[in-house]
Amino acid sequence: MTPEVVTPAGYGSRVATPLTRDTLRTAPKVLLHDHLDGGLRPATVVELAEQVGYRGLPSSDATELDAWFRAAAPSGTLERYLEPFAHTVAVMQTPSALHRVAAECAEDLAADGVVYAEVRFAPELHTERGLHLAEVVEAVLAGFAEGSARAAGDGHPVGGRIRMGCLLTAMRHAARSREIAELAVRYRDAGVVGFDIAGAEAGFPPTRHLDAFEYLRQQNSHFTIHAGEAFGLPSIWEALQWCGADRLGHGVRIVDDIVVASDGTVKIGRLAAYVRDKRIPLELCPTSNVQTGAAASIVEHPFGLLAELRFRVTVNTDNRLMSGCSMSSEMAALVDAFGYGWSDLQRFTINAMKSAFLPFDERLALIDDVIKPGFAVVIG
């Protein structure tokens, strides 16, 4: 990573802060795609397993468990990538456990310089010990609030306090999406900013959940849909044209509708052109996409092409524990792969903030008062 020279009109050359993994932490970041059950601290998994009597962990040593999760992630398929979640979900079945995991999530993101995050989880997965859906949501929201407050007290590297939004996810192979959608609307003034469906794509198209999406549109609510990760263009098309998604969770396979000729000429298909022209946000998760086989490597990840063609790309972590990543490490990987500078990272961050499920004035305030000033410091 080399320093970026910035020369504003009327000024002499100024050398930006060198782009390193350490300095990346000090830049403001916006995260739209992060799973709560995919970002636990390994030590927390071990301690919670002991508390609830869960004996299924591959190891009771936090360091060994961390290594196991990271080794299990590069499976090459989405279905196998999802298997380790059985362990994290198993220890997130009590109000205290959910509260703790959510609080630590806010703290960890804040320590990485994230100023706004939308973290998602599936309430239906956390009722194995008798919790009601509402109890699950309330425990997580309370945890986010406490973690955000603790992070502000500890000193946020960008300054201020991380703002946490919550996305409620329904599992696409189950039949509770309308119920979860109603829950999202019920708690939308308490910190739930939107809705999502997740899980294996193949065989479970988003149109199975049309009732939930129609209800959300009637309620003027926001939603994103996992689409175009393990399954291709039909999943994206259904998510947009049948279901009316505001954003695409991953959406990386939109590149299948783009042809780059040997002479460098680019032909964008009608669906890809629609996504670009309508400024539909792509919640891209580079490391996770490589691990699930959606991309061969970071260098070969479609992020570079999509960014060059001015799609609304955003940088995301997906699952910080399983993928062994953070927002800073994801940005660092993109810098290494595509030679991005601070101004590029600022563009991706503003893309994300523009796409957040917050009122327009609140998005604008975060862009003008937090993100742009934060990047001005590192740009020089």
Give the pairing of strands 114-121 and 29-35: parallel
| Dihedral (Cα; 312, 313, 315, 318), 10-degree rounding | 100
Tokens linked to 77: 């398929």
Mean predicted lDDT score pLDDT of the chain: 92
pLDDT at 161: 80
Read off the pLDDT of each residue in 251-279 and give the average, rounded to a whole number.
97
Nearest to 112 by CA among 33, 31, 17, 166: 31
Range 89-94 average pLDDT: 98
Which residue is catalytic, options 107, 201, 229, 238? 229
DSSP state of 125: G
pLDDT of residue 83: 83
Place of tokens 């740009």: 379
Q: Is the pLDDT of residue 229 over 70?
A: yes
Residues sharing a CB contact under 8 Å with residue 179, sequence separation 6 or more, in sequence order: 133, 170
Q: Which two tokens stand for residue 375?
A: 């990047």
Q: Which residues neighbour 345 within 8 Å (Cβ) at sequence distance 6 or greater?
A: 24, 27, 315, 331, 335, 375
Q: Which residue has the tokens 């590192």?
A: 378
Residue corresponding to tokens 């109603």: 182
Average the pLDDT over 146-164 and give the result: 83
Alpha-carbon distance of 336 to 156, in angstroms, equals 26
Tell me the per-residue pLDDT of 322-361, one tens digit each, with 9 for 90 and over: 999 999 999 999 999 999 999 999 999 999 999 999 999 9
Q: pTM, whole model, 2 decimals?
A: 0.93
How many CB atoms sit inside 10 A of residue 14's CB?
12
The model's confidence at residue 125, banded by pLDDT at 50, 70 and 90, is very high
* Residue 119, pLDDT score: 98
Whether the pLDDT of residue 378 is over 90: the answer is yes
Which domains occur in the chain, in start order?
21-379 (3.20.20.140)
> Residue 193 corresponds to which tokens in the numbers above?
């900013």
Q: Is 47 one of the annotated active-site residues of the chain?
A: no
Per-residue confidence band for 224, with pLDDT thresholds at 50, 70 and 90 = very high
Q: Would the pLDDT of 201 be above 90?
A: no
Among 16-25, 130-139, 187-196, 273-282, the least confident range: 16-25
Kindly indicate the confidence band of residue 155, based on its pLDDT and cuts at 50, 70 and 90. Answer: low
Pairwise CA distance, residues 145 & 133, whole Å: 19
Q: What is the mean pLDDT of residues 84-103?
A: 97
> Of 272, 239, 248, 237, which Cα lies nearest the Cα of 258?
272
Q: What is the pLDDT of residue 151?
A: 92
Q: Give the pLDDT of residue 74.
A: 80
